[in-house]
Amino acid sequence: MDKRPVREFEVELPVGYVDEDGRQHRTATLRKMTGREEALLADRKLRRNGGKLVTELLRNCLVRLGELEPVNRHMVAGLSSPDRNYLLLELRKITFGQELHATYTCPFCGETSSVLEELDELPVRRVNGSGPPEIVVELEDGYEDKEGFYTTMVFRLPTGVDEEKTASAMKENASLGMNALLTRCLQGLGDMPANRREALGTKILSDLALGDRARIERTFRQEMPGADLSREIMCEDCGRKFQATLDLTSFFSLS
Tell me, yes or no, whether 116 and 145 share the same domain: no
Tell me, yes or no, whether 47 and 92 share the same domain: yes
- How confident is the model over 87-125, as pLDDT tens digits? 999 999 999 999 988 889 999 999 998 889 999 999 999
Tell me, yes or no, whether 114 and 199 share the same domain: no
Single pTM value for the model:
0.91
Domain holding 48, by residue range, is 8-126+231-245
**Residue ranges for the chain with pLDDT beneath 50:** 254-255
251 domain residue, yes or no: no
Q: What's the confidence (pLDDT) of residue 132?
A: 83
How many folded domains does the chain comprise? Answer: 2
Q: What's the confidence (pLDDT) of residue 255?
A: 46
Q: What's the confidence (pLDDT) of residue 71?
A: 96
Reported residue count of the chain is 255
Tell me, yes or no, whether 105 and 22 share the same domain: yes
183 domain residue, yes or no: yes
Q: What's the confidence (pLDDT) of residue 247?
A: 65
